[in-house]
Structure 1
Amino acid sequence: MSSSKSLQEKPYNAQWNASIEYIERMAWNQLAIPMQNPFLEWEWLYLLENSKSVSSNRGWYPRHLTLFENNRMIAAAPLYIKMNSDGEYIYDMDWIRIARRIDISYYPKMVGMTPMTPVPGYRFLIDPGYDEMLITRIMVNVITQYCKNKNISGCHFLYVDSEWVPMMQHMRFVEWKHYTFQWQNKGYDSFDDFLQALKPSHRRNVKKERKALEKQNIEIKFSVNDEIPHANYAKMAKFYSNTGTKYDPEAESFFTPAFFELLPKFFRHRSMFVAAYSREKPDDPLALAYFTHKNRLLSGRYWGAAFDIPFLHFNVCYYSGIKWAIENNFIIFDPGAGGSHKIKRGFPAKLVYSLHYYIDWRLQFFMAQHIDEINLLEQKEIDLINENLKNLQQTA
């Protein structure tokens, strides 16, 4: 752990922390728990580091920033030094190529996000009793100076809270638009009520995919928090690893077996599993999907199966999440990154943002000059996706 005081206004003191375990758990969570995003909480970040899912060997060097007034922590930011862009889900290859062409070292860079977790909501964690603009400016100054001192090319905040964007633009960060898929509860009374919002042909397709499991004698079960069978965590680790190997045999899984082993100890209170069972073996799941829940936000994170079964993925990961969200009055269901197949299953494209500041003025100038055109193209794609989704829905 190190301290940086050069750019702070009295009486504030900033510290750089090489691990979340150096930061007092309760002090961090007093700032993080009010946020809708559960992945900014101390326990999740500790899980990532303690399980070695996040480590220097995997390209993530924790450098969390904390800000104190009279030995009391009043602000914090999860931050990482990166030597690659793995696990960020913001694809910056074009900026890397431009940096090379003008002879700028793109790495190392600093990233603000929850590693391998593309869920919107990142922002600085600031005590509401303080002037947010002032504290944010102090933290940005400390970060910028650190990047200059350490020859870090710039700082990038990914999957940020949309309400945070205007403030950061005032501090010279460039806004870059992207999209993910999120389902929104429009006051549905039941899953059947949700289906009634779809056009008949699309409704029939969803019913067909759901009935496919019934014909194969497969049933879906939910378990939440303390209801979750302990064996599910180890089984989830195995399924998760198998899924990664299936789609990319050369790739290393982002999350280690130790991550799933530690999940019940540190994050059971925000956990939910969807499990698919053969009725012939009701205690041995054929497939599992892991979700988190907080403040009416349901987030689908990982899934895997013992073997391929038609439509199993859609039922376990999408339809079950929608059903559970409706039954528990959740407003948003984020099923995870990627997948145009989500559109046909009721998930609209949702605008998300990243924020960027490069130390070298040439790269910063180039991005600022071209980002409006890039963002316009992204917005057009979002509009097209959502227009296609409307064609699957009933008109009022």
Structure 2
Amino acid sequence: MVETKNLVAKIVNSISEIPKTSWDACNNASANSSPFLSYDFLNALEISGCVNAETGWHPQHVVLYNTSDETDILAVMPLYLKGHSQGEYVFDHGWADAYERAGGRYYPKLQSSIPFTPATASKLLVKDCNNRQTYEQALISSAIQFARNAEISSLHLTFVPEREAASYKDMGLLIRNDQQFHWFNKGYQTFDDFLNALSSRKRKQIRKERRTALENGITIHHFSGDDLKEEHWDAFFEFYIDTGNRKWGQPYLNRQFFSEINKRMADKIVLMMCERGGDYIAGALNFIGSDTIYGRHWGCIEDHPCLHFETCYYQAIEYAINHGLKCVEAGAQGPHKIARGYEPTKTYSAHYLRDEGFHKAVENFLQMETREVDAHIEYLGERTPFKKGD
């Protein structure tokens, strides 16, 4: 427990120790509140057993309240004690290896992130916007003090907004950059409006890909809210497991997790399912934020040309246009998204390293890495499919 003036920060081992209304009041105070930082999403991860000490994601959430009223929660911060670097999408395996070869102990480390979810969102959830800066600094200071007291090597905050990254830098944390590919709604009223902003060759390519994806008698259905049934999740989980096993080994999420989010937040989900001959053969899971649709997981049990592009990219773009959303975040990696109208976008993470010598070595590395990231984003930005001058 850490006290600062009239504020007290404590660590809890499960989000269930915090009232749902209190956590969501903090998350919803942001104009861009994230569905992934809702109580329901994070609790579903814990209830299903995807996130716990055994999986290497031990919850250590920070709760900030006033000394005069412990029930009045002012701010919260999702935080995990991690025994590995899996499921983060900001890769620090090289840091861990270098530190341990030098005789240090990198794990466990503290990680403030959305497990298995590379989506940008504030991890400092503050109920009172008038005192946002004070409470944000109290949360960070408390997490750093926790690391120092427990002799933990490091604290990492991944996929943070650019505004927060600047604040972390002022507090002495190291800032790391990477890139993703996001689609931005530039006032389009229809999908054709979007296509008309592209060069003729790229416009023709996308139209051809959309036709090709459905040539084998495939129909794509959208399910959300009360329309989402357990049989849809049964089929999707089969796709998820099959594709996950082929791509990277053991998938992170279990079947119970999908049932939990269906019970708790189906209105924030759009499950796009591909049907052929009366059977579901592929699907893409999307979550809906205040102004963004987030593409998270794709899976299939049949391979069809361009079906992945159609289901994950073009359907998401069309959904965003039809529902007045500003952005599509389609997950990590994927330069092939550029040809589909997605643009290179810088991402930010912040890092506290307790060992001063290690801090300096990583700082030098990040200076070089940042130059490479900036150059790569500039290079890719010149190769988007949009008409020149737009």
The bucket for the TM-score relative to the shorter chain is over 0.9
Task: Show the 5 A alignment for 1:1-396.
Answer: 4-5=1-2, 8-35=3-30, 36=32, 37-69=34-66, 70-71=69-70, 72-248=72-248, 251-278=249-276, 280-281=277-278, 284-389=279-384, 392-396=385-389
Gaps of at least 5 residues in structure 1 are none
Amino acid at match of 1:68: Y
How far has the Cα of 1:98 moved from its partner?
2.8
Amino acid at match of 2:113: M
How far apart, CA to CA, are the structure 2 residues paired with 1:340 and 1:137?
36
How far has the Cα of 1:340 moved from its partner?
1.9
1:133·1:167 contact (CA, 8 Å) conserved in 2?
no
2:206·2:340 contact (CA, 8 Å) conserved in 1?
yes
How far has the Cα of 1:136 moved from its partner?
2.5
Return closer, same or farther for 1:307/1:129 CA change in 2, 3 Å cut-off. Answer: closer
How far apart, CA to CA, are the structure 2 residues paired with 1:332 and 1:341?
18
Residue-by-residue CA offset, 1:19-46 (whole Å, 9 max, x unaligned):
1111111001000123322111111100
SS at match of 2:107: coil
2:29·2:129 contact (CA, 8 Å) conserved in 1?
no
Residue-by-residue CA offset, 1:159-210 (whole Å, 9 max, x unaligned):
0011111211121111111111110011112111211122222222211111
How far apart, CA to CA, are the structure 2 residues paired with 1:276 and 1:139?
44
1:184·1:332 contact (CA, 8 Å) conserved in 2?
yes
2:271·2:284 contact (CA, 8 Å) conserved in 1?
yes
Deviates more, 1:17-26 or 1:192-201: 192-201
How far apart, CA to CA, are the structure 1 residues paired with 2:94 and 2:280?
43
How far has the Cα of 1:366 moved from its partner?
1.8
Residue-by-residue CA offset, 1:79-138 (whole Å, 9 max, x unaligned):
001111000000113322331343221111100011000000133111225533322232
Amino acid at match of 1:357: Y
How far apart, CA to CA, are the structure 1 residues paired with 2:215 and 2:4?
67
1:234·1:260 contact (CA, 8 Å) conserved in 2?
no
Residue-by-residue CA offset, 1:323-363 (whole Å, 9 max, x unaligned):
11111111000111122221111111110100001111111
1:59·1:83 contact (CA, 8 Å) conserved in 2?
yes
Amino acid at match of 2:255: P
How far apart, CA to CA, are the structure 2 residues paired with 1:214 and 1:51?
35
How far apart, CA to CA, are the structure 2 residues paired with 1:246 and 1:374?
30
2:29·2:128 contact (CA, 8 Å) conserved in 1?
no
How far has the Cα of 1:59 moved from its partner?
1.1
How far has the Cα of 1:253 moved from its partner?
0.8
Return closer, same or farther for 1:359/1:310 CA change in 2, 3 Å cut-off. Answer: same
How far apart, CA to CA, are the structure 2 residues paired with 1:306 and 1:367?
42
Return closer, same or farther for 1:214/1:125 CA change in 2, 3 Å cut-off. Answer: closer
How far has the Cα of 1:372 moved from its partner?
2.2
How far apart, CA to CA, are the structure 1 residues paired with 2:17 and 2:37?
16
Residue-by-residue CA offset, 1:268-323 (whole Å, 9 max, x unaligned):
12011112122x42xx3221111111212100111112211111111111110011
Amino acid at match of 1:236: F
Amino acid at match of 2:48: S
Deviates more, 1:218-227 or 1:43-52: 218-227
SS at match of 1:234: helix
Amino acid at match of 1:387: E
2:160·2:349 contact (CA, 8 Å) conserved in 1?
yes
Q: TM-score under structure 1 normalisation?
A: 0.93
1:113·1:122 contact (CA, 8 Å) conserved in 2?
no
1:274·1:290 contact (CA, 8 Å) conserved in 2?
yes
The alignment covers a number of residue pairs equal to 384
Taking only the aligned residue pairs, the percentage that are identical comes to 28
How far apart, CA to CA, are the structure 2 residues paired with 1:135 and 1:344?
42
Amino acid at match of 1:365: K
Q: TM-score under structure 2 normalisation?
A: 0.95
How far apart, CA to CA, are the structure 2 residues paired with 1:137 and 1:206?
46
Residue-by-residue CA offset, 1:227-270 (whole Å, 9 max, x unaligned):
3344212221121111111223xx21110111112121111120
Return closer, same or farther for 1:144/1:214 CA change in 2, 3 Å cut-off. Answer: closer
SS at match of 2:369: helix
Deviates more, 1:116-125 or 1:126-135: 126-135
How far apart, CA to CA, are the structure 2 residues paired with 1:144 and 1:393?
44
SS at match of 1:286: strand
SS at match of 1:318: helix
How far apart, CA to CA, are the structure 2 residues paired with 1:202 and 1:138?
49
2:181·2:345 contact (CA, 8 Å) conserved in 1?
yes
Q: How well do the aligned residues superpose, as a CA RMSD in angstroms?
A: 1.5
Return closer, same or farther for 1:271/1:158 CA change in 2, 3 Å cut-off. Answer: same
Deviates more, 1:317-326 or 1:216-225: 216-225
